Structure 1
């Protein structure tokens, strides 16, 4: 997975700075393109830092639950195969 240059918390802070000044000025100040600001604004426009942290925790939990479900499905398939065989 590609390492991101900025964390979500930093991005939200950048967006708050951009609200007080122009996007062009904020982009130059933080060293990113204007397009990045517009993309971030579309993704994180109404979020606060705490919301972003919650979102990250929910995503991590979702990944963990998907792994658990995949393992459980694999176990079920193995048990079905064992029952289908005649000893």
Structure 2
């Protein structure tokens, strides 16, 4: 079965349904999302608005990109140290 991806808007709407008083089980059945997924979203995104959630995703992507850059630079530094340490 193919894994379905939900947009920020969809996640926020689902969480608002639960916050409005519907049970997690009911929302899970209606939306075709597992209860575990809803609880995971609630723990991660609970209380966020759509714009906040979009900004969070943007920041996570930027953080990931910056970590890759730091790792690349660390490899470059190690390589330069190795080259510099050799006797000519």
User: Which TM-score bucket, shorter chain as reference?
Assistant: 0.7 to 0.9
Aligned residues: 85
What is the match of residue 46 of structure 2? 45
Q: What TM-score comes out, normalization by structure 2 length? A: 0.80
Runs (4+) of structure 1 exceeding 4 A deviation are: none
The alpha carbon displacement at 1:82 in A equals: 1.1
Instruction: Specify every segment of 5 or more residues in structure 1 that has no aligned partner in the other structure, as ranges.
Output: none
1:22 is paired with a residue of what secondary structure?
A: coil
Matches within 5 A, 1:17-56: 17-23=17-23, 24-56=25-57
2:59 is paired with a residue of what secondary structure?
A: helix
The alpha carbon displacement at 1:33 in A equals: 3.0
Q: What TM-score comes out, normalization by structure 1 length? A: 0.81
